Structure 1
Amino acid sequence: MKKIILTFWTLLITIILLGQDFEGKITYTNSYKSNNPQVSDTQWSTFMGNKYEYFIKGGSYKTTANGTLLQWQLYVNKDNKLYTKMANSEAVFWNDGATNPDSVLNAQINKGVAKVLGYTCDELILTCKSGTQKYYFNSKLSVTKNLFTKHKLGNWAEYISKANALPLKLVIENPQFILESVATEVVPQKLDAKLFLLPEGIQTEKSPY
């Protein structure tokens, strides 16, 4: 289960970062359809959370969740490390952003296929070894792709190199579940850099997954 959870966060997180033009918070609501007969849709929602708040500044990002297992995730750009805090561990697990067990087999962009919060979104479909990842984005929420060329984990560098923008919606399908995550609020704002620091004195360990 821990491996599944970390893989999920790798994808999700995958999911949003700060670029040159946008700094602030994006709120997402999530729904799940389980592909694992041992875990129900409701259980995925309970473990992972059906709401995320994503904070983005200067190439680093932090996500907070309302799940019972996942608490938060922090990407520190200068270290190229992704930190994940679970409720059942005192330690924070980190993954090297340069390491990616997944790979992209094909990429396709479709123009103007969806609207989210009034933004007309292009669709990027990544066919991956792990499954299918669909992202819906608008160039008004732009990012600087050069900040994330080393962030291979979760196919994030691959996504950013093609979209150059934050996703407003995503659909992730893999053998464990289908996740749909949709932005419900976009708030541009200046954020305190301290938000993107690890809590003082917290124990960190390399993720076993």
Structure 2
Amino acid sequence: MKKIIFLVITTFITSFTFGQNFEGKIIYNNTFKSKISNITDEQWSVVMGSKFEYFIKNGNYKTISNGTIFQWQLYINKENKIFNKFANSTKALWMDASNNEDEILKTEINKNVTTLLGHKCDELVLTCKSGVQKYYYNSSVLKADASLFTNHNYANWNQFLKTTKSLSLKSIIETDQFILESIVTEIIPTKFDSKTFEIPAGIETAKQ
């Protein structure tokens, strides 16, 4: 379960257009389609979270979930580590972001597939060992620089940014357990200080 959550949360990432790399908070609403007979769509939503609050500044990012099990994920660039916090553990579990067990088998780009919040979006389809990942993006919106994540290989993140040059407005991530659809609902440009991307006080860490 935790391994799946690591992958999905990392891969998942308006009426505003930003001329430089986006810094701020993005809110995504999530819906799940279960592929396991004894787990409902709603149960996945409760466990994983129906809402993600995503924060990004330069080469660091953080996701806060309203899920009952998955609580937050933090990527600290200078350590190149991804930390995940679950409700059933007092520690944040970390992994080396340079590692990537997944593999992109096929890449497709389809132009002007849909319009989201007034922006025409291209579709990036990645057929991977882990499943099919679809991203809907506009390279002039939510701009992101792949060079800031040079060593972030996990979940094909650096390769995704090299292709899109932006965060996604919508994503559809398929695994063996479920299909997750995330759609951006709000974008809040904000300047953050360094404490936003630090492990919270009192939280111990351990290697995953």
| TM-score calculated relative to the size of structure 1 | 0.92
User: Does the 8 Å contact 1:31/1:179 carry over to 2?
Assistant: yes
Gaps of 5+ in 2: 14-18
| 1:162 alignment counterpart | 163
| 1:44 alignment counterpart | 44
SS in structure 1 at match of 2:21: coil
| TM-score calculated relative to the size of structure 2 | 0.92
* TM-fit CA distance, 1:129: 0.6
SS in structure 2 at match of 1:44: helix
* TM-fit CA distance, 1:6: 3.0
| 2:76 alignment counterpart | 76
* TM-fit CA distance, 1:7: 3.4
Question: Identity over aligned residues, as a percent?
Answer: 53
Q: How far apart are the structure 1 equivalents of 2:120 and 2:30?
A: 20
Give me the CA root mean square deviation. Answer: 1.4
| 1:183 alignment counterpart | 184
* Structure 1: 4+ residue segments shifted above 6 A: none
* TM-fit CA distance, 1:190: 1.1
User: Does the 8 Å contact 1:98/1:152 carry over to 2?
Assistant: yes
Q: How far apart are the structure 2 equivalents of 1:132 and 1:180?
A: 12
SS in structure 2 at match of 1:165: coil
Which whole-Å deviations, capped at 9, do the CAs of 1:68-113 have from their partners, x for residues lacking one?
A: 0011110001111100000110000001101111100011111111
User: Which shifted more, 190-199 or 80-89?
Assistant: 190-199
**Are the structure 2 counterparts of residues 21 and 11 from structure 1 closer, same or farther at C-alpha, using a change threshold of 3 Å?**
closer
| 1:115 alignment counterpart | 115
Q: How far apart are the structure 1 equivalents of 2:164 and 2:37?
A: 34
SS in structure 2 at match of 1:142: coil
The residue type paired with residue 178 of structure 1 is I
User: Does the 8 Å contact 2:97/2:151 carry over to 1?
Assistant: yes
**Are the structure 2 counterparts of residues 10 and 56 from structure 1 closer, same or farther at C-alpha, using a change threshold of 3 Å?**
closer
* TM-fit CA distance, 1:20: 5.0
Aligned residues: 202
Gaps of 5+ in 1: none
The residue type paired with residue 71 of structure 2 is Q
SS in structure 2 at match of 1:135: strand
Q: How far apart are the structure 2 equivalents of 1:46 and 1:37?
A: 17
